[in-house]
Amino acid sequence: MAETCRALDGSEAITFGLTKWRAIILVMTVGCLPMATILLGPRLVYWLGRTVGFYLRNKTAGRKAQILEMTEKDEAEWEKQKEGRRDSDEWENVDAYTVGSVGNGEKGESEWDGIVGFLHPFCNAGGGGERVLWAAIRATQKRWPKAKCVVYTGDHDVDKAAILARVKNRFNIALHPPTVTFLYLTTRHWVLASTWNHFTLLGQSIGSLIMAWDAFGLLTPDIFVDTMGYAFSLALSKLLFQDVPTGAYVHYPTISTDMLSSLDPESDVGFQGVNAGKGQGAAGIGKKLYWELFAKMYSFAGGSIDIVMANSTWTLEHITSLWSEWRREFSKPRPVAVYPPVAVEELEKEVEVSEASESRRENVLLYIAQFRPEKNHQLILNAFAEFMATSTPATKGAKLVLVGSVRDDGDSKRVYELRLQANELKIKESVEFHLDASWPEILDWLRKASVGVNGMWNEHFGIGVVEYQAAGLISVVHDSGGPKRDIVTKIDGEPTGFHATTSAEFAQGFESALSLPAEAKLAMRKRARQSAKRFTEEEFAKDWIAQMEKLVALRIQRKSVEKGGGGGGGKEGHLKTA
């Protein structure tokens, strides 16, 4: 059986990716689609799309049968071996919050056994986005035990067992292995920014179409969900498979009104982001026109998605602003906010917040974030250097600890450059880097640290900031995005942390947090922990399932219509439509 799994899931499996010329043809086809729609008419374009989709569905029928057969065998083997397994009880008892409300509440609701495809090409990265993916799969498994969850990934260097072990180690999320399958993409490089030196936004979006084609060439799912932000992939799915409901969990809009505004140096955000103030001159005007045109294309793609979830108030407002017109045109429901899952309950158990625990806290400022450019570690290093230069009592024994995952050589190079920066700022001895730390290691730092830091402008949400609060850390975060709007907010009229924008303001935030009197410091820690209770894994599971039930109901409904009405017949007829 191991050989069978490896043949399907492993990196040495037969690849079904695109050749260079097939990729070019696909890009040209997609590029001509708007003009073809105008010249040929929407009906013909949709007919052509459905014809291609029919071809892909037939092409992958054999693999679908193989996945179903393998899942059945693995499930039987799991049942035989579960006696004495410590984690078996987790799958014997379905949590109350995972019992849904589709149809009339009969037991048959849980018997839907279709395939949910999750597009997440960097599933082994170990960041907050990956926590959402695995928590979503776990909630889906609990709600529909017979459903199959397929993850389209580009992580060829790891197999199923290694990925699931990392999920357990990094996030403490135990998945049910028999109903999880990984299909390996050969086209992930098309969505990397490094692949597109110019017109990066458009290039990555075209790359997401190529990657989606690759995914559909591996398997056509019954429900297609994107958990990384590839709206154009979902639009392609809608064109090819009109009976396949699509769902999106949006962590961050590909383009936002803030991005457009940042090009203008006179605007309120004209000094933020990597393109701040670049909207001047001929090149700047061209860039602005390009971004505005791209925003219109992005709005069209987002408008076609059946169910849209946003991870924060900030993200929700931006995608609603961009997508609302087309969503009304396509009669799609309004996007909803579904806050990411955070291990709040576990942190409350593992990390004590009391007078006694204060003696174990150190003058440690902790920054948990992947080593990506937008996380702005440079700003925090500069701020820490300014803080240490004051030589106040709060600086004595102070240490900055940077904890994060490294995805590739680009991230490794970034860490090297950050080490050089710390050396140049003469704070090398007071800065520590911990790469790809395990969950137990992160817990240790959350117990010892006193302050939690986040330096990203317009952080879409900020799972790490919620972890700070749940562990009782006092947060010093960027005065924007989710940390400002949703997380580091007042409780009973009292603050739970500090906001900052410049390095000087962050330095002052560090000083304020570390120099609080003992009683005030403990009181703020307790308020922060209370604030974090809004973002538990249980709350996420409830909200996720509520939206997934709509997708399942759509699948049943469309399948019934396709078969000519009636009860829907077959296995997918177990569910009654809402």
pLDDT tens digits along 193-248: 889 888 888 999 999 999 999 999 999 999 999 999 999 999 999 999 999 999 99
Of the CA atoms within 13 Å of residue 64, those in its CB half-sphere come to: 18
CA distance 384 to 329: 50
Per-domain residue ranges for the chain? 2-10+26-77+112-251+538-564, 344-535
Alpha-helical segments (H) within 220-263: 231-240, 257-262
The CATH architecture one would assign to domain 2-10+26-77+112-251+538-564 is: 3-Layer(aba) Sandwich (3.40)
Closest CA to 405 of 435, 383, 433: 435
In this structure, are residues 342 and 533 in contact, taking their beta carbons and an 8 Å threshold? no
CA 434, 435, 437, 443 dihedral sign is positive
pLDDT of residue 83: 65
Q: What would the two tokens of residue 467 be?
A: 């972890």
Tell whether domain 344-535 is in CATH 3.30.499.10: no
Distances (CA, A) of 317 to 339, 481, 555: 14, 11, 28
Specify the pLDDT at position 7: 37
Please tell me the distance from the alpha carbon of residue 9 to that of residue 74, in angstroms, as a whole number.
14
Which parts of the chain register pLDDT below 50?
A: 1-18, 88-89, 91-94, 96, 101-108, 270, 566-578
DSSP 339: P
Residue 49 pLDDT:
87
Contacts of 214 (CB under 8 A, 6+ apart): 16, 17, 18, 185, 186, 187
pLDDT at 255: 87
Alpha-carbon gap, residue 118 to 102, rounded angstroms = 21
pTM confidence score: 0.78
Nearest Cα to 404, choosing from 420, 396, 415?
A: 415
Query: Between 200-218 and 20-40, two packed helices, what is the crossing angle to 10 degrees?
Result: 100
Q: 2-10+26-77+112-251+538-564 and 344-535 share one CATH topology?
A: yes
